[in-house]
Amino acid sequence: MRTHLAEPVAAALAAGRPVVALESTIIAHGLPRPRNLQAARAFEAQLTELGVTPATIALLDGEIRIGLCDEQLIRVAGDDDVVKVSVRDLPVALATHSSGATTVAATAYLTARAGIRVFATGGLGGVHRLASQTFDESADLPTLALTPITVVSAGVKSILDIAATLERMETLGITVLGYGTRSFPGFWVTDSGYELDWSVPDAATVAQVMAARDELGLTGAVVVANPLAAEQQLDPALHDAALSRALTAAEEQGLRGKEVSPYLLASMVEQTGGRSLEVNLDIATNNVRVAGEIARAWAALAP
């Protein structure tokens, strides 16, 4: 397998020091330039300040890179030829020597293969609205069902069917923990309106859950649902109005399948005057912090 661990990542793993994986889709496709590169550097610096080694993951010229140098970050952030790569795309990207930014599913899969246990992202994919007609469900869910990784996210984006997503995670055996809350976050908003079965108070408890998962031999992921503070969230009234208009417009335009999510996300940015994009960055920053704390707790607990 053409997988290259950056020297700092390899050294940290060998010494049992904390490491947190970061996806690259948010850099290549999730944020506008030059904010994307600034954010990528800030996330890595945030982990370094916590004493945690960052491992941003991407494919470059058909090689899997676990940990990027600054020159590689610049390339992922600025190269139009960097495509979005999910799990199903990995063998094709490798065989064709392509460069790709990894989605949540691909990042989780590659993270686990590298022996990294904690991964920070913004929000997970899930079951799409009207999935009973379109069968549209993110590859994130089945991948996490088979991947022993702990993922810190702000729930799932509210453009999805959150109730159906929670049901699917239960069916697939994905453990979901509210971080200091029983309310499942709705990405831009602190509370999606759905209650979780389990809540944990701190990173040390998450590490204990991870250890118990290993003891039981379970193969699924632990999802840590980490909401933004209420004062940082997108105003719920603004959120609901913008989402309603976006959903109506998507239906009127007859959008289906892969066309829907990019349209809804772009529409949310436009209709909130860019506020949803700023909240995106706050979400990612908050999740990186919590992932760093969990990685430290895991390194202290694991033999």
Domain 1-116 is found in CATH 3.40.1790.10: yes
Give 94's pLDDT tier (boundaries 50, 70, 90). Answer: very high
pLDDT of residue 271: 87
Taking the CA atoms of 178, 179, 180 and 183 in sequence, report the sign of the dihedral they define: negative
Alpha carbons 106 and 121: distance in angstroms, whole number: 12
Alpha carbons 205 and 56: distance in angstroms, whole number: 25
Q: In which residue ranges of the chain is CATH 3.40.1790.10 found?
A: 1-116, 120-303
Alpha carbons 194 and 87: distance in angstroms, whole number: 29
Q: Which residue has the tokens 């049901």?
A: 167
The mean pLDDT value of the chain amounts to 92
DSSP 7-35: HHHHHHHHHT--EEEE-SHIIIIIS-TTH
Cβ atoms of 196 and 180 within 8 Å: the answer is no
Q: Annotated active-site positions, please?
A: 23, 157
| pLDDT tens-digit readout, 118-139 | 999 999 988 877 666 666 778 8
- The answer on pLDDT for 77 being more than 80 is yes
Residues 15-22: what's their mean pLDDT?
Answer: 97
- The answer on pLDDT for 115 being more than 90 is yes
Residues 248-265: what's their mean pLDDT?
Answer: 74
Q: Which residue has the tokens 């899969």?
A: 109
pLDDT of residue 260: 67
Alpha carbons 161 and 194: distance in angstroms, whole number: 11
Residues 166-177: what's their mean pLDDT?
Answer: 97
Residues contacting residue 141 through CB under 8 Å, at least 6 positions apart = 124, 125, 126, 127, 165, 168, 169, 172, 174
Alpha carbons 294 and 302: distance in angstroms, whole number: 12
Alpha carbons 60 and 45: distance in angstroms, whole number: 22
Residue (of 183, 56, 169) closest to 120 by Cα position: 56
Residue (of 164, 157, 172) closest to 26 by Cα position: 157
pLDDT of residue 1: 56
pTM of the predicted structure, to 2 decimals = 0.94
Superfamily of domain 120-303: Indigoidine synthase domain (3.40.1790.10)
Alpha carbons 165 and 168: distance in angstroms, whole number: 5
